[in-house]
Amino acid sequence: MMEMKKHQEDQFAKLAVFLSETKQPFINVQTAQITCAMELLKVLPAAQDAVFEYYAKFFDYAISTYLKQLKVQPSWVESSSTSSRLEPPIIPPEIIENVTSIRDVLLRLVEEDHLVWAPVILHWSYKLLGKVSKHYNVHEFARMPLGDMLRFWSQCSVAYILVDINNKTIAKMMKAEGERSVDSMIETMLGYKSSSFEWVLAQIGDSFPSLVIMEMLLCSIKEMCTTKKFKHTEKLNSFIRILDHLSITYFNNIKDVVFKLFKLSLGEEHQKMTVENVAIIPFLLHMAMCSSTLLKSMLCENLTQITPEVLNKLLPLYPQWKKYFDEQCSLLDIMVQVLLNADRGIKHVLNLIFQLIDCEDPKFKILKTGAQTLFELFLAELEYSLRTNRTTPPIVKALVTNLHSIKLYLLSTNINVAQPAARLLSCIAIRDQECLLPYIATMLIECENSTQLETLVEILSFGVNMAHFDGSLVYALAKTDVSLSNVWNNINTLLSLESDPPEGISLYGVSLAVVSHLDKICRSMIECCHSGDMHSAHLLSSILSKIAAKLCMKEMSVPKVLYCVKAAVLYFFTCLFKEKDEMFKLKACLRMNKFVNTVSYRSSIARTAAMKYILDGVLKEPFSLLFVMPDNRRNDYIIQPLEKTSLMGSFLQQEFNLKFGEEINIKFDKNELHPKFKTPVFDAKSVRFNEQRLVSFLRSCYSSDECYSFEPTLDTVVSLALLVVQFVSPDVMYNGLPWPDEDFTKVK
3-class secondary-structure state, position 532:
coil
Mean of the per-residue pLDDT values of the chain: 77
Spatial contact of 505 and 498, defined as CB atoms under 8 Å apart: no
Spatial contact of 222 and 187, defined as CB atoms under 8 Å apart: no
Spatial contact of 612 and 723, defined as CB atoms under 8 Å apart: yes
Spatial contact of 372 and 357, defined as CB atoms under 8 Å apart: yes
| pLDDT attached to residue 654 | 40
| pLDDT attached to residue 43 | 54
Kind and range of the H or E run holding 488: helix 485-499
| pLDDT attached to residue 47 | 65
Cα(606)–Cα(522) distance, integer angstroms: 14
Cα(342)–Cα(353) distance, integer angstroms: 15
In order of 612, 723, 732, the CA distances from 739 in angstroms are 20, 14, 6
Task: Find, among 464, 415, 413, 409, the residue nearest to 436 by Cα.
Answer: 464
Cα(436)–Cα(428) distance, integer angstroms: 9
Residue 269: CB partners within 8 Å, gap ≥ 6? none
Spatial contact of 435 and 400, defined as CB atoms under 8 Å apart: yes
| Phi and psi at residue 510, to the nearest 5° | -65, -50
579: exposed, middle or buried (Cβ count in 10 Å: 0-12, 13-18, 19+): middle
- In the 8-state DSSP scheme, what is residue 307? -
Cα(560)–Cα(551) distance, integer angstroms: 11
Tens digits of residue pLDDT in 223-281: 888 888 888 787 888 888 889 889 888 999 999 999 999 988 887 655 567 888 889 99
Task: Find, among 695, 720, 723, 721, the residue nearest to 710 by Cα.
Answer: 695
Spatial contact of 423 and 458, defined as CB atoms under 8 Å apart: yes
- Residue segments in the chain with a per-residue pLDDT below the cut of 70: 1-48, 70-89, 135-143, 178-189, 191-196, 268-272, 552-554, 631-681, 703-748
**Total Cβ atoms within 10 A of residue 279:** 25
Spatial contact of 188 and 126, defined as CB atoms under 8 Å apart: yes
Residue type, 685: K
| pLDDT attached to residue 84 | 43
| pLDDT attached to residue 491 | 92
Residue type, 584: F
- Give the count of alpha carbons within 13 A of 493, CB side only: 16
| pLDDT attached to residue 672 | 44
Cα(609)–Cα(617) distance, integer angstroms: 12
| pLDDT attached to residue 668 | 41
Cα(106)–Cα(556) distance, integer angstroms: 94
Task: Find, among 595, 531, 602, the residue nearest to 563 by Cα.
Answer: 595
Spatial contact of 224 and 216, defined as CB atoms under 8 Å apart: no
Give pTM, 2 decimals.
0.75
Task: Find, among 294, 199, 286, the residue nearest to 254 by Cα.
Answer: 294
Cα(568)–Cα(562) distance, integer angstroms: 10
What is the sign of the dihedral through the CA atoms of 42, 47, 48 and 54? negative
